[in-house]
Amino acid sequence: MKNLRLDVKLSEYQMCQLAEEAARRGMTKSELIRSLIARLPEPLPQKNLRSPRLY
């Protein structure tokens, strides 16, 4: 479930890179970012917390 939001400041150059790569792959910018995050290692288990550490 996608219920969290992340605001990120990018330079104009970075936004162009993101937009062009997303278009090249036929994805939205959000889909591209989520696909890149999906490649990251699994988060370590958090002990004594009710929910995962978000930041």
pLDDT over 90 percentage in the chain: 73
- Rounded Cα–Cα distance for residues 31 and 23 (Å): 11
pLDDT tens by residue, 2-22 = 899 999 999 999 999 999 999
pLDDT at 47: 76
pLDDT over 70 percentage in the chain: 85
DSSP string for residues in 22-40: HHHHT--HHHHHHHHHHTS
Phi, psi (degrees; rounded to nearest 5) at 42: -60, 140
Whole-prediction pTM value?
0.75
